[in-house]
Amino acid sequence: MNTKIIIAGVGGQGILLASDILCEVAMKAGFDTKKSEVHGMSQRGGDVVSHVIFGEKVYSPLISYNEADVILSFEQVEALRNLDYLKDGGVMIINDIRILPVPVASGMADYPKDAVGEVKKFVKNTIVLDAESMAKELGNVKVMNVILLGVMAKQVKIIKKEIWIEALKANVPPKTIDVNIKAFEKGYDFS
Amino acid sequence: MKEILSGNEAVARGAYEGGLHFACAYPGTPSTEILENMTKYKEIHSHWSVNEKTSLETALGASFGGMRALVAMKHVGLNVAADPLFSAGYIGAKGALVIITADDPGMHSSQNEQDNRNYARAAKIPMLEPSDSQEAKDFTKIALKISEEFDTPVLIRLTTRISHSKSIVEFAERENVEVKGYEKNVKKNLVMPAHARALHKKVEERLLKLKEFSNDFKYNTIEYKNKNIGIITSGISYQYVKESMPDASVLKISLSWPLPDRIIKEFADNVERLYVVEENDPFIETEVKAMGIKITGKEIIPIVGELNPRIVKESFNAVEKYKLKETMEKAPGRPPALCPGCPHTSVFHAINKLKLIATGDIGCYTLGALPPLSAMDTCVDMGASITNALGLEYSLKGRDKRKIVAVIGDSTFYHSGITGLIDLVYNKGTSTVIILDNSITAMTGHQDNPGTGKTLMGEDSPKFDLERLIKGLGIEHVYSVDSYNLEEVANLIKRETERSAPSVIIARRPCILLPEMKKKKFDKYEIDENKCTGCQMCVKLGCPAISFDKEKKKALINKSLCVGCSLCFQVCKFGAIKKVQGE
């Protein structure tokens, strides 16, 4: 069976880079892998979703409803938006921050009062963390994404932690390797 | 060596391995990264063209000289390039000529869902359809060979899910090919009627030969499994079929024009019930039906939107239709928006305030149509803003007092706005054209254009002087303004729209996302809650950094998003927005 993971968030949050790293890790672990996303609007505050699949042989680069093993959402409401893609028994990881869409900011729509609570009603395995604050504790807010990848890595037991560490070392600026590894471990040990 | 590549990166790699000499394109999602990645290979001359028509004509010129040439564009770009496409079909290709069309089923970033397989049939040109990145690379190399062997341009059709999906690709060495050199050959390269009549005969003969080639093509493959169901499919749909219908027999079409009739007949004879799974138009379906073969296609497969494995499975009733979860709270939409500090904002704010009719165009600034700015009435195709305004002006004359402005970006103006502006002058239009000059092709991710003074390969080139160009077209009233000066922008638009002569306003400021702009430190702004009356004038700018607290009835500026453009400061009548030192 293939492993199917969705990474969701808001344009500018680094969703595409995070899914690139996941893909590379999957290939290093010896799997066939594909990913799919839509470019173009990613820099302009729209929602961004990346589908990543790996396993013995991957055909479709797209994940369908009720299929994802893990959804990693970089923002509260994006978890709610992608809820239908999570399979029964799947794991939802939510970064506990709110980024207001323009219609909400300008008063034309409402942000859900309890998006996380709403997701929890449907998903038993919901992991919620404030990775932004955790990154600030490490002194570098940019490692938020790596903390979130760490949380996800723990849920994807089929790939060894060492492969992740290697891939991270290859993908982050040399000066920031230490803080990134720390961030990854912090995420990995969170749940 | 193996690497994970997107379909677009793979096309560039394939072009390199296949000995390509020349590549050009006008950027357009989802095709843009093909040329961006071409610059990795110094053996290939690559450049941004001004539009898709000039691009295809330039590539054909390179082919005249015996170079292996490639041109890439989004699906609607091929409409712009359709004129040279049909002529190139007659002329053929001395040096290989490969044309990439990146279609956009689902319209992720396009104005229509046209299926460019129809162009292959109409222009009598062979078309390949890869189904993943490995094939995108391999088929590009094959296309270069087919082109020279059959003396024909070759189309490759990608779709968003091929262009922007990534999968593992095996690399090979570059095949070094000599440039063949130019020889005069008017009977072939000069398509006047006398020559074209002879050429058309050759094209029809070529198609018959290509049909035979298609029947022998090793990538048109049959995989027999359960013979009760046989599915013909191509491109990304092949992957969806394999995923969702693992037990069905499959005929994968890789050369989708001309179709391999013998293989199709053989497959049809060997399966009980025959289906076709294809995105958008019933292209294969129509051809198979014309062969007198019974096949089911669009009766069960949607014609609108892109497919996915679930849709395919549901179409075959192999799974129940998925019911969306009923959540109490819904996720609010997150449409893309003009960025904080976007220089286009002031123009749209003024258009809204002045209640003008704005004919729009294609680029980031199309987002100015969305609320709260709501400052665009029409958007048709590249360059249409100016000529739409001209036509509308005629219908409004004496019937409607509202004023018209055409709004167009710098890159779109170079693409197709100039001819429209000549039309406006020639036919005595008096509309005002606003050129939003942010000094880059922004929407597709910052590509250079004639206004930037740089080429794709990073060389200096003459930087276009817009004012001189427009004055040269015979427009007397040309004014430029700093986009960040709200009052001046509004006054100038008001003054020029009232003028009974054609005029052009150039609203100028570099895109806020450009690396050199991002590096600059600006003072930021914040709300003085004691002075804020909750009038929401600042909120109406549609700036993503500004929100409104409904309970407190106060505006709020998100400091981490604010870039200090000062538009909100300028719009506030109560002095409730103040500058804070930049960090």
Q: Which of A10, A27, A40 sits opposite B29 (nearest CB)?
A: A40
Nearest CA in chain B to A105: B547
Matching residue, tokens 């399979």: A87
Report the alpha-carbon distance of residue B91 to residue B124 in Å, rounded. Answer: 12
Domain B521-580's class?
A: alpha beta
ipTM of this predicted complex? 0.95
Place of tokens 């770009």: B77
Q: A25 forms bridges with which residues in the sheet?
A: none
Residues A175, A177, A182: CA angle, nearest 5 degrees: 130
Among A69-78, B304-313, B335-344, B430-439, whose mean pLDDT is lowest? B335-344
Which chain B residue's Cα is nearest to A51? B165
CATH number at residue A178: 3.40.920.10
| Cross-chain Cβ contact A59/B239 below 8 Å | yes
Q: Do B539 and A112 touch (CB under 8 A)?
A: no
Residue A39: the pLDDT is 67
Contact between B7 and B164 under an 8 Å Cβ cutoff? The reply is yes
pLDDT of residue A155: 97
CA A120 centroid distance within chain: 17
Put simply, the answer to whether B2 touches A27 (Cβ < 8 Å) is yes
B79-109 b/e with 16+ CB inside 10 Å = b? bbbbebbbbbbbbbbbbbbbbbbbbbbbebb
Residues of chain B within CATH 3.40.50.920 domain(s) are 221-315
Phi-psi category of A3—alpha, beta or left, where left has phi over 0 and alpha has psi -120 to 50? beta
| DSSP three-state, residue A188 | helix
Could you tell me which chain B residue has the CA closest to the CA of A36?
B165
Chain B residue with Cα closest to A22: B4
Every domain of chain B with CATH number 3.30.70.20 lies at 521-580
Check B109 against A58: CB less than 8 A apart: no
Q: Do B330 and A112 touch (CB under 8 A)?
A: yes
Of the candidates B348, B365, B380, B457, the one whose C-alpha atom is nearest the C-alpha of residue B411 is: B365
Averaged pLDDT for residues B460-481? 96
Inform me whether the pLDDT recorded for B398 exceeds 70. yes
Q: Do A62 and B335 touch (CB under 8 A)?
A: no
Counting one residue from chain A and one from chain B, the pairs whose CB atoms sit within 8 A come to: 172
Considering only CB atoms, A106 lies closest to which of B325, B327, B372, namely: B372
pLDDT given for residue A106 in this prediction: 83
Confidence band, pLDDT 50/70/90 cuts, at residue B582: low
Res B163: pLDDT = 98
CA distance B382 to B26: 12
Q: Find, in chain A, the residue whose alpha carbon is nearest to that of B4.
A: A24
CA distance A174 to chain B (A): 21
Residue in A35, A45, A61 closest to B336 by CB: A45
B297 alpha carbon, distance to own chain's centre: 28
> DSSP label at B176?
P
Which residue of chain B is at minimal alpha-carbon distance from A10?
A: B334
Q: Do B330 and A101 touch (CB under 8 A)?
A: no
State the average pLDDT over residues B438-462: 94
- Among chain A residues, the shortest Cα distance to B105 is held by A38
pLDDT tier at B48 (50, 70, 90 boundaries)?
Answer: very high
CATH architecture of the domain B345-517 equals: 3-Layer(aba) Sandwich (3.40)
Whether B329 sits inside 8 A of A40 (CB atoms) is: no
Q: Which fold has domain B2-216?
A: Rossmann fold (3.40.50)
What's the predicted TM-score (pTM) here? 0.96
Q: Which of A37, A43, A65 sits opposite B164 (nearest CB)?
A: A37
Round to whole Å and give the CA distance between B237 and B255. 14
CB contact B542 to A (< 8 Å): yes
In a 3-state reduction of DSSP, which class is residue B569? helix
B95 within 8 A of B21, measured Cβ to Cβ: yes
**Cα B391 from Cα B386, distance rounded (Å):** 9
How far does the CA of residue B62 sit from the closest CA of chain A (Å)? Answer: 30
B415 and B361 Cβ atoms separated by less than 8 Å: no
Percentage of chain B exceeding pLDDT 70? 100
Domain tally for chain A? Answer: 1
How confident is the model at residue A191, as a pLDDT? 84
Nearest to A80 among B165, B240, B329 (CB): B329
B221-315 folds as Rossmann fold (3.40.50)
Average pLDDT, chain B: 96
Residues 6+ apart with CB under 8 A from B479: B492, B496, B503, B504, B505, B506
Helices (H), B127-183: 133-150, 160-163
Name the residue among A74, A71, A65 with its Cα closest to residue A91: A71
**Is any Cβ of chain A less than 8 angstroms from the Cβ of B398?**
no
- Quick one: which of B381, B387, B391 has its CA closest to B361? B381
Quote the CA–CA distance of B243 and B312 in Å, as a whole number: 9
> Are the beta carbons of B308 and A112 separated by less than 8 Å?
no
Chain A nearest-CA residue for B550: A107
State pLDDT tens for residues A81-133. 999 999 999 999 999 999 999 889 888 899 999 999 999 999 999 999 999 99
Residue A40 has pLDDT above 80, yes or no: no
Cβ under 8 Å to A: B residues 499-518: 513
Across B73-77, B259-263, B338-342, least confident range: B338-342
Q: How many CB atoms lie within 10 A of CB B299?
A: 10
Q: How many angstroms separate the CA of residue B405 from the nearest CA in chain A?
A: 25
> pLDDT tens across B86-105, in order?
999 999 999 999 999 999 99
B486: Cβ contacts below 8 Å, ≥ 6 apart = B346, B349, B350, B567, B570, B571
* Gap from B198 CA to chain A (nearest CA, Å): 45
- d(C-alpha B206, C-alpha B211), whole Å: 9
Range of the domain at A121: 3-188
Question: Cβ–Cβ of B322/A122 closer than 8 Å?
Answer: no
Q: Report yes or no: B339 at the A interface, CB cutoff 8 Å.
A: yes
Instruction: Give the nearest partner residue to A33 out of B4, B327, B335, using CB atoms.
Output: B4
Check pLDDT > 80 for residue A43: no
Q: Which chain A residues have a beta carbon less than 8 Å from that of B371?
A: 103, 106, 108
B306, B237 contact by CB (below 8 A): no
On chain A, the residues whose CB falls within 8 A of the CB of B547 are: 100, 104-106
Q: Does residue A44 have a pLDDT over 90?
A: no
* B7, closest residue in chain A (CA to CA): A36
- Average pLDDT, integer, range B389-417: 97
Asked whether the beta carbons of residue A41 and residue B364 sit closer than 8 angstroms, the reply is: no
Q: Which candidate from B328, B334, B550 shows the least CB-CB separation from A118? A: B328
Please give the distance of CA B348 from its chain centroid, rounded to a whole number.
24
pLDDT at residue B521, as a whole number: 78
Contact A108 B536 (CB under 8 A): no
Residue B482: φ, ψ to 5°: -75, 120
